[in-house]
Amino acid sequence: MYPDLSYFFHDLLGTDYDNWLAIFKTFGLLLATSLVVSGGILYREFKRLEKPGGPFHHAITQVEQIVGAAPTWKDILPGSIVGFIIGYKFLHVYKNFQAFKGDPVKILFSTEGYFLYGLLGALLLGGIYFWDKKRSQLENPLTQSYSLKPSDRVGDIVIIAALSGVLGAKLFAMVETLDSIHSFQDFLDQLLSGSGLAIYGGLIIGFTVVMLYIRSLKLPALHFLDTAAPGLVLALGIGRLGCHFSGDGDWGIQAAAQPDWWFLPDWLWSWDYPRNVNEGRTGVKVGEIAPTPLPVDCDGCKYKWKLGYKVYPTSIYEFVMFSGIFGFLWSIRKKVTVPGTIFFLYMIFNGIERWFIEKIRVNDIFMWGLTQAEVISIGFFSIGIVGLGTIYARRKN
């Protein structure tokens, strides 16, 4: 497993474990990759749908901007804020670099820092912004107009989805571990920790916030959902690779003996996740016995445990299934004439995929003898069926 890049480059080049490259966490890198990929797919679809005659063409607006105006506080404030944050946290990160390598998110989002250096950073970067605006100032400022297209908003959509999605994923994960939260400090520690994400929490909260933003742009909701679905499902698959290669506990139950007919690599049937970030700990289904973590010989590395028995690598299975769903949705996107079809098909496939993968995954019972993911997968499947029935019934009428 590769909890961070230091482990990857150790295997590739023989460099030390847990060096400065440890700040680059494998899960975070693949999560960022998923956002870039899904954003690229969304941008491509927006460009297609904003052409004349397309459902997004009406949302192209003309915007005026003043060129050569004198700098104002609105030009300086963003740079000053960024400069303050950098200055406030830089020395703190430097003095706590060992802790930063272990959990960068917790260090960055803590309230600890150096106010004086933050102030200096604000003055420096704010001054740079002021000087840049000042040198382009004109004696007679000009007013120019340009077209603002829906595709120009894709970056905003991705950022909004990322921030709200991560927050939702953290909150849903914390619901599953309420018994470990005994104080407000425990709540903050879990919220600011770089681990513990519930994927469906991210989907639900991220979806809600993004749809509110789409509504403000006056884009047709069903057409937008159709454009977002293929990229979303591929992003989920890439995110699952992050779970697998970091070994974050998102794996299956104890695997059965490998059958004789199995022709793929052994690790695709079962794996004990050496050097995983969960330090060899794993959950169990009701009635099973938790394995005792076993040590891995890795010359004093931080992550030196593996599972006590081999489990199904369910994250890899989900990546394969999500990739297949993406391929199907992408292949039919130009052939579908009823808005909403692609999205509701995605909901159906996602619900089916998660329902069946839960049968071999480790997860806690949530209600009615079902896991949280199983309950939500039923909801996804039901919404997909009802949605498809509704849009096609309206079309007939």
Domain boundaries, the chain: 5-60+150-163+209-396, 65-147
Distance CA(229)–CA(350), nearest Å, equals 11
Position 214 scores a pLDDT of 92
Instruction: Tell which residue, 293, 263, 238, has the closest CA to residue 41.
Output: 238
> How many percent of the chain have pLDDT more than 70?
90
* In the predicted structure, residue 338 carries a pLDDT above the cut 80: yes
- What pLDDT sits at residue 195? 52
Q: What DSSP line would sit under 288-332, residue for residue?
A: --PPPPEE--STT-S--EE-SS-B--HHHHHHHHHHHHHHHHHHH
Q: Tens of pLDDT along 73-91?
A: 888 998 999 999 999 999 9
Find out whether 242 and 31 touch, Cβ atoms under 8 Å. Answer: yes
Q: What is the pLDDT of residue 281?
A: 73
For residue 361, the 8-state DSSP code is B
Give mean pLDDT, residues 344-351.
95
Cα–Cα distance for residue pair 115/118, rounded to 1 Å: 5
pLDDT band at 11 (very low <50, low <70, confident <90, very high): confident
Alpha carbon distance 89, 101 (integer Å): 15
Distance from chain centroid for Cα 44:
20
DSSP state of 275: T
**Is the CB of residue 210 less than 8 Å from the CB of residue 200?**
no
Average pLDDT of 226-245? 93
Query: 181 falls in which pLDDT band (50, 70, 90)?
Result: low
In the three-class reduction of DSSP (H, G, I as helix; E, B as strand; rest coil), residue 147 is classed as: strand
pLDDT above 90 coverage of the chain, percent: 44
Quick one: tokens of 10? Answer: 């150790």
CB atoms within 10 A of CB 84: 22
Q: pLDDT-derived band of residue 196, with 50, 70 and 90 as boundaries?
A: low
The predicted pLDDT at position 188 comes to 58
* Mean pLDDT for the stretch of residues 89-109: 84
Residue 41 CA neighbour count, 13 Å, CB half: 22
Listed residue (361, 362, 364) closest to 179, CA to CA: 364
Q: Average pLDDT in the 280-295 region? A: 71
Rounded-to-integer distance, Cα 298 and Cα 137, Å: 60
Looking at every residue in the chain, the average pLDDT score rounds to 86
pLDDT at 343: 95
- Give this prediction's pTM: 0.82
Does residue 177 surpass a pLDDT of 70? no
Paired tokens of 325:
């769903």
- Cα–Cα distance measured from residue 194 to residue 28, given in angstroms and rounded to the nearest whole number: 9
Give the lowest-confidence range in 149-163, 233-247, 295-309: 295-309
| Class of residue 376 by CB neighbours under 10 A (exposed 0-12, middle 13-18, buried 19+) | buried
The string of pLDDT tens digits covering residues 15-57 is 888 888 989 999 889 989 999 999 999 999 999 999 998 999 8
How many C-beta neighbours within 10 Å does residue 289 have? 9
Q: Mean pLDDT across the stretch 198-225?
A: 86
Q: How many contiguous H segments (helices) and E segments (strands) does the chain have?
A: 13, 6
φ/ψ (deg, to 5) at 95: -75, -20
Contact criterion met (CB below 8 Å) for 379 and 339: no
Task: Read off the pLDDT band of 301 (50, 70, 90).
Answer: confident
Judge whether 163 and 171 are in contact, CB under 8 Å.
no
- Confidence label for 244 from pLDDT (cuts 50, 70 and 90): very high
